[in-house]
Amino acid sequence: MESLGLDIGGANTKYATNTGKFGVIYHPLWKGDVFDVLVRISEEQPHEKVGVVMTGELADAFRSRSEGVLHIAKVCMEIFDDVLFLSVDGSLHCFGDLIKEPLKFAASNWVASAIFVGHHYQDCIFADMGSTTTDIIPIVGGVPVAGKTDLERLMNRELVYTGFLRTNVATIVSAVEINGKKIPLSKEYFATTGDVYSLLGLTGDIDYPWETADGRGKDIMSCAKRLARVVCSDLNEISLEDVVEIAHQIRDAQISEISEAMRVKADEWGVCKVVGAGVGEEILKDASAMAGLSFVSVSAKYGALSSVFPSYALSLMVD
């Protein structure tokens, strides 16, 4: 029997089957409904059972998170026949249960991955760096012990709102240094971490959608031009080497922020290992090293499924 796991986010809808098929579709919910995306997945991916997790309820297309959960769930019910929804307590429920307490199903994607990892590693931190955010989930005795809401996890350093592709670089650093001079960044949406990691050659063969700040290309020079703009410049005012140095400083600052969260949770729970997944897995590896923690790569065993790990873990749960 083939089962399908759906992870419906605000910017990306990710899917995976228990047989290892997977994909990512860029479709911001603030630009349009997810209905057509899910119809496409339903038609292209054979399935008998479907599991759903979501984070898209936070999109400002919805007046509240409850409204977002209910809307996304109703769309799923319109398209798929046998659907189960994963709650933040780790249990699968029917649509009737979700209607009664929708917020128990908000921001639930990390739960599927953490439960899966907990079956294989009793004591660790499960870290998942996606395009937009990074989860830092302590697992003790095989059980995830993180907060149950985004607010709780933000307060507990278990949700770091920084990602590999979509994060505005001005939220990571307030200034950079060029030729020994400290330069404050413009606080505009000129460039994202996707530009940083593309310029540094760290996106490799990653087939993961992201939208550039100016709507232009993702080639090296386009990325460099956007990064030059964060210090209100063009490439005829600062050199490409200067822009590469800016990218390194942003990367280092992001790694430091994630590493500090890892260290805090590792000290709190007495664990010394990070199991890392997501499109930004290499950044997690460097952050773990900075925190003095050993690192286990999800992609080393599961390949590119690492980038859609909640979907894959969920497909196994509903199988």
What angle do helix axes 240-269 and 220-229 make, rounded to 10 degrees? 80
Q: Say what the pLDDT of residue 207 is.
A: 65
CATH code: domain 3-110+307-317 is: 3.30.420.40
Distant-in-sequence, close-in-space partners of 101: CB < 8 Å, separation ≥ 6: none
Q: Say what the pLDDT of residue 1 is.
A: 81
pLDDT average per 10 residues of sequence, the chain (319 residues): 95 96 95 95 94 97 98 98 97 98 98 98 97 98 98 98 98 96 97 96 78 94 97 97 98 98 98 97 98 98 96 96
Scanning 27-163, the segments in alpha helix (DSSP H) are: 35-44, 65-79, 95-100, 109-118, 150-155
> What count of Cα atoms within 13 Å lies in the side-chain half-sphere of residue 254?
32
Q: Say what the pLDDT of residue 206 is.
A: 64
